Structure 1
């Protein structure tokens, strides 16, 4: 199967063409202001023959939240009265972000107890009244969040059904789809998703247009990568753009694992602006166990455990005292850095000045403290790697990204530093290697452990196959069984994740 992976970074847009797991060709182009221009440049620079899929990793939705730009307003419906009045929706959000998305908010009676019993029956008339108000206010993006809804989703689903019936233009995000127990964090995740829905429609349509303009053919499918390192179908991406959050570091880690031949260890991806550290467990990124803040909003997303520091190839060199970054020339490196004829001293200049890095079209700049700068950068990276370790055991580290020259060959706690030949495009390679996943996370009643796990695996496999996985190659990579002693009927929460390669639509790759 031939696939093109594309990863859009702040400095460069990288592309990779793979046939199976074999890398055929790669390309690195500057990220353009409109983003889509960079994607078109990548597609124009790679072969188009028998391409089964184009897989894109993008930070556009994360950036929109962080920069408070291109966000639509959101209506909130919380199910849970008489509880929940003291902390209304958007509690704890940064004030500027809350003001950017705030609209009508309704609290209605209903909700679920911690043991799965109804707290109160859903106030359906209250939901209908809210739907009419959302429609009258022109608010189409609506969040529905109910207390303990992951235990019993029926009230949220019924409310969503009523809103859709009485406000046909609505786009409803139900909170149980994006989070676990913890009402505020789950509601926050749904709110972040809802405020991106209009942007998601336009961005993903533009991605599709870029594929069409490249002339790749009707059998070429388009996917985005999601934060667990697997593929996200376009129809799902339009409904749940938040699932792409942190997909960039995930792509890099997956690509690094494949290129470096390491399933368990550390990865550092040094780009133009930041260095991202992650840990590999069985070839996939280690997931964060704590609440994660996105744009200042506390959520319970299943995101990779990533540490980012402001160090990259474009990081500015500051003196008196010596400091690198966090400011960076980013995509302007080739015009503003000293080695390219500019006036800004950067980490890349230090590497070129010492002969550590050779770049066509440049000349070594006069940088007296170049060696000291590289030592400072190496220490920052060593400190970051140490912070990512969970024990004193030594592990390998894979260094990828265009700024990987800054990684020292020897550091405490690291058995070896692996530098894959194509590591500067590991993010795009990781995107191209992404597999299809199926996830089931639900409470099962009146079933023993074996029966509940078997049923969860069956449902997760069906989900993966429906999303395009090859049914003969789906494998289980994660099973969690949490008995819920406080619920009746031998209840247990089962989480299963399966993955499988994308099924090819071409009978032959030639």
Structure 2
């Protein structure tokens, strides 16, 4: 079989009914294939092999496998949560409010210890190293091999999380460690929940990566494997092994961004219709935006690490925050049912046939979004800077961190660039505290031949 020498990106979508794959050169859809999902590995291998006559520079996967693992608690690992806070300052223990089946599976142990910082940088209490080691030793004896560490104020001062991680890794090299400031946002509860979920999913993510790498080899592809992340960026397999919560909604984000691309729009409400089910969410600047409203996933609050997604059963309501939005893109298996959706007028969504776009290749929206994804990282911190010069220094430090993390996510080391830096004074905190967000992206390595 002759190989087309011009490089392409291959995107793959794995859904409940089928495996769909596309080959893109730039923004041009060259070819697509679809196979019924009878045996996951066989269908994926055959879909990739059908595009094997292209020279692939990357194979990017859009999947909700890790999110769906939350519906099967036996796929989750027991976790020990170490929370560090001011003595006497804790009210709700870790895992509070979690759905009972998930809580039973994940709650291996939890320990509240002195530590953490306030948002001005003041240490709330020194770390109790002996107490940490005793607590982890009890958890390990009980069968726990995955630890989540969450310190008050670590979104501003992560020192106690990092020091605890070093201590635990040195004394218990068999365990994995997740730090809340690396996976979550600003709020303690949301960060802790995200860290605990991450720890519970790490072994499932490792199994997923190993299986997919085996399938790629069987299909004769040597291109790097990538995964679509929560906000439509791409992350590599090692990054996914370490941070599985980064890809919980990769299937939706790929669908939304791919739908907007196929429709030729940058801003739209995207509705994915499959039988009687619909998922809906916004696309802004071509991707699902971050939301200021804390989101929940399977009943667990996780902050802004996932985009806002509304689900409904037809006929019914599917109206996320879309005030003033007119363009609606319908994709999925049954996009013709879009007119069965309703939305109350206060949401500002007037659904009419004139405003609806159904792309010709609507069934392949997620695969297209996967193929177009590129490595991207966002870092969010609260920082203290009492002068413009100090704020500039902090911006520079976090920008360097974002660039380094973009490379670790799979970007060619020569390509990471800072896309956005946003610093906002926090009015309800003492002067000099800013909410700083840095977003960086990069390109995948070129010249990989399959």
TM over 0.5: yes
Indicate the SS of the match to 2:69. Answer: helix
1:441 aligns with 2:375: no
Q: Residues 126-157 of structure 1, C-alpha deviation per residue, up to 9 Å, x if partnerless?
A: 11212322332231111111111111001011
Question: Residues 394 and 413 of structure 1 are in contact (CA less than 8 Å); yes or no, is this contact kept in structure 2?
Answer: no
1:290 is matched with which residue? 293
Closer, same or farther: CA 473–193 of 1 in aligned 2, 3 Å: closer
Question: Residues 86 and 124 of structure 2 are in contact (CA less than 8 Å); yes or no, is this contact kept in structure 1?
Answer: no
2:10 is matched with which residue? 4
**Distance in 1, Cα, partners of 2:116 & 2:363:** 50
* Structure 1 stretches of 4+ moved >6 Å: 485-489
Question: Residues 226 and 244 of structure 1 are in contact (CA less than 8 Å); yes or no, is this contact kept in structure 2?
Answer: yes
**Distance in 2, Cα, partners of 1:30 & 1:292:** 33
Question: Residues 11 and 273 of structure 1 are in contact (CA less than 8 Å); yes or no, is this contact kept in structure 2?
Answer: no
Closer, same or farther: CA 141–451 of 1 in aligned 2, 3 Å: closer
1:214 is matched with which residue? 219
2:133 is matched with which residue? 128
Q: Residues 21-59 of structure 1, C-alpha deviation per residue, up to 9 Å, x if partnerless?
A: 221111222233x53333223213223432111111111
Closer, same or farther: CA 105–215 of 1 in aligned 2, 3 Å: same
**Distance in 2, Cα, partners of 1:485 & 1:405:** 47
**Relative to structure 2, which stretch is displaced further, 120-129 or 405-414?**
405-414
1:464 corresponds to which of 406, 414, 417? 406
Kindly report the root-mean-square deviation, in angstroms, between the aligned alpha carbons of the 2 structures: 2.6
1:175 is matched with which residue? 180
**Relative to structure 2, which stretch is displaced further, 220-229 or 479-488?**
479-488
1:497 is matched with which residue? 439
**Distance in 2, Cα, partners of 1:69 & 1:274:** 26
1:398 aligns with 2:340: no
1:314 is matched with which residue? none
Indicate the SS of the match to 2:97. Answer: coil
1:306 corresponds to which of 304, 309, 321? 309
Indicate the SS of the match to 2:217. Answer: helix
Q: How many positions carry a matched residue from both structures?
A: 433
Closer, same or farther: CA 470–21 of 1 in aligned 2, 3 Å: farther
Q: Identify unmatched segments of 5+ residues in structure 2.
A: 1-6, 342-348
Matches of residues 107-118 of structure 1 in structure 2 within 5 Å?
107-118=112-123
Question: Residues 49 and 220 of structure 2 are in contact (CA less than 8 Å); yes or no, is this contact kept in structure 1?
Answer: no
**Distance in 1, Cα, partners of 2:192 & 2:298:** 15
2:58 is matched with which residue? 53
TM-score (norm 2): 0.88
Deviation at 1:300, TM superposition (A): 1.1
**Relative to structure 2, which stretch is displaced further, 135-144 or 412-421?**
412-421
**Distance in 2, Cα, partners of 1:74 & 1:465:** 29
Deviation at 1:251, TM superposition (A): 0.4
TM-score (norm 1): 0.78
